[in-house]
Amino acid sequence: MANSAMPAATAAMTPAQQLNERFATIYATHLPRITALVGSQIINAEDKHLTDDLTAEAFTQVWLHLHKCEATTDAKVFSWVATIARRTVAHHFRTKKNRMERPADLGDWQYANRPMDQAAGYYTPTATGFRTAAIGNGDSDPDMDEALRRVRAGRPAVAA
């Protein structure tokens, strides 16, 4: 097995070429084990496409952070890559959980508790007795207006 920790550097190779060579060695050496690891982390292990996508994402992260890797042996390199793969899987399912669509209206219009005006084609509001103040046209709650005036003047909102 080739030493993926630090491949033999040629004097003619630039640092970028050395990173390319190191990544190619890591990828070829550890791809099957990382793919199996990612597959074992996924609940539905038969989803080959998701396994391949997450493995590719893990190796993309390896490529981006390879310059930070200080591993000196193959076991340490595998451990580093496996940690990145586990975190990639966890990140995928964490963001998937937060992006799940949840229906806002669980009821069906046929079972609604309000009459539908057939001529207008929309629901008519149910008479609940709840009164709301109109904003902008001066038709507001006089008690609230008085309380706001008192607060703005620096006095207590409730008259003593």
Four-CA torsion 11, 17, 20, 24, nearest 10 degrees: -50
Token pair of 87, please?
């975190």
Token pair of 156, please?
């207590």
pLDDT tens for 48-79 read 888 999 999 999 999 999 989 888 899 999 99
pLDDT tens for 85-144 read 999 999 998 887 666 566 565 555 555 555 555 555 555 555 665 555 555 555 556 677
Fold held by 15-99: Rna Polymerase Sigma Factor; Chain: A (1.10.1740)
Enumerate the H helices of 6-73 as residue ranges.
Answer: 15-41, 48-65
pLDDT score at 139: 56
Query: Residue 78 and residue 115: Cα distance in Å, rounded?
Result: 66
pLDDT score at 1: 47
* Residue 149 DSSP symbol: H
Could you write out the DSSP letters of every residue in 54-103?
A: HHHHHHHHHHHHGGG----SHHHHHHHHHHHHHHHHHHHHHHHHHH----
Contacting residues for 10 by C-beta, under 8 A, at least 6 apart: none
pLDDT score at 116: 55
Q: Whose structure tokens read 């396994």?
A: 51
pLDDT score at 31: 95
